[in-house]
Amino acid sequence: MPSSPEPRKAVSFRIKTELVARMRRHIRDHAGRPQYLALATFLESAIEREIERTGLIAAGALPPDPAPGEAGDPVAERKAVLARQHLNNEPRSVGPSGCTVR
């Protein structure tokens, strides 16, 4: 005799309208073979993955996400990388033969 499914509870929360539309389109488009997506199972697996991901961040196994608004300036980040590379290319010393040692 098959066991009864796990009990479920209805929940309600607010998310961005465009995200809801994207999610519904995605689930509708992939409701058939080979994925057979359904709204409840899709959301359950997404929530479980996010719980695992944030648990790994809390344990230090993954780097933390940047805080909102702290994504950084890509130009400034690239300048910093180039500056570090320039420092690494400068000679450390000049040897007795006049050759530079890097």
The pLDDT value given to residue 63: 85
In the predicted model, is pLDDT for residue 101 greater than 70? no
Beta carbons within 8 Å of 93's beta carbon, 6+ residues apart: 100, 101
What rounded mean pLDDT belongs to the chain?
82
Model confidence at 90: pLDDT above 70: no
Q: How much is the pTM? A: 0.58
100 vs 25, residue with greater confidence: 25
